């Protein structure tokens, strides 16, 4: 559960890093991009109720599990996120909608690359940020990288033992 808590914090930090110093745009229609911008605006204002409304049901359930393990509520966890102030809205591109799911690329202000991909789902006729899906993706990539490293170390170990014979 500690890993999940750490990844939730890292996810919040990733949003902040992606958004700080980026260009802005006023949301006007229901799109995944505008849902992200509404979420960030709510975070900037400390509007936890709106932040919660813009999260998918599975994201709320995921955050509930984390919050409960820390003796907190979902609102407490989201309130912690509002303490990190974001200067501007995110710069986004390549919104891709496939049925009731979507992704949006966000520029990482540190690297300048659009390598942050935020998933969305359509629920009750509105686009919702699917933080749980993003955290699952981060965990999957981390596990794949760990396995690749372990395999590489194993291969290197076998090569070294063969040359010592």
Give CA separation, 116 vs 46, 48, 148, in Å.
23, 23, 22
pLDDT at 56 over 50: yes
What is the per-residue pLDDT for 62?
93
Note whether residue 57 is domain-resident: yes
Give me the number of domains the chain comprises. Answer: 1
Note whether residue 79 is domain-resident: yes
Within 20-86, residue ranges assigned H as helices are: 32-45, 48-53, 57-69, 74-82
Q: How confident is the model at residue 74 (pLDDT cuts 50, 70, 90)?
A: very high
| Phi–psi pair at 81, nearest 5 degrees | -65, -30
Note whether residue 161 is domain-resident: no
Note whether residue 150 is domain-resident: no
- Residue 13 belongs to domain spanning: 2-131
Note whether residue 145 is domain-resident: no
Give CA separation, 115 vs 7, 12, 15, 141, in Å.
17, 16, 12, 13
- Asked if residues 106 and 116 have their Cβ atoms less than 8 Å apart, the reply is yes
Note whether residue 162 is domain-resident: no
Per-residue pLDDT reduced to its tens digit, 97-149: 999 999 999 887 777 788 788 999 999 999 999 989 988 888 888 888 888 89
Residue 120's CATH number: 3.10.450.50
Give the mean model confidence (pLDDT) for residues 84-101.
Answer: 83
Note whether residue 164 is domain-resident: no
Per-residue pLDDT reduced to its tens digit, 127-141: 999 989 988 888 888
| H or E element, residue 158 | helix 131-163
Tell me the pTM: 0.69
What is the per-residue pLDDT for 34?
93
- Asked if residues 23 and 93 have their Cβ atoms less than 8 Å apart, the reply is no
- Asked if residues 53 and 59 have their Cβ atoms less than 8 Å apart, the reply is no
- Asked if residues 120 and 111 have their Cβ atoms less than 8 Å apart, the reply is no
Q: How confident is the model at residue 7 (pLDDT cuts 50, 70, 90)?
A: very low
152 token code pair:
């590489």
| Phi–psi pair at 86, nearest 5 degrees | -110, 130
Note whether residue 136 is domain-resident: no
What is the per-residue pLDDT for 157?
57
The Cα 123–Cα 110 span in angstroms is: 32
């Amino acid at each position: 559960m500690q890993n999940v808590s750490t990844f939730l914090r890292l996810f919040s930090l990733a949003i902040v890093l992606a958004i700080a110093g980026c260009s802005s745009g006023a949301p006007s229609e229901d799109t995944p991009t505008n849902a992200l911008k509404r979420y960030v605006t709510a975070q900037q204002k400390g509007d936890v109720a709106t932040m919660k409304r813009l999260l998918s049901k599975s994201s709320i359930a995921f955050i509930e599990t984390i919050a409960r393990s820390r003796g907190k509520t979902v609102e407490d966890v989201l309130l912690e996120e509002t303490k990190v102030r974001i200067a501007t809205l995110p710069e986004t591109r390549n919104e891709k909608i496939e049925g009731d799911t979507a992704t949006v690329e966000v520029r990482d202000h540190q690297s300048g690359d659009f390598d942050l991909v935020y998933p969305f789902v359509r629920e009750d006729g509105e686009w919702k940020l699917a933080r749980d899906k993003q955290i699952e993706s981060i965990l999957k990539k981390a596990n794949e990288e760990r396995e690749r490293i372990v395999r590489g170390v194993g291969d290197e170990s076998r090569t070294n033992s063969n040359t010592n014979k």
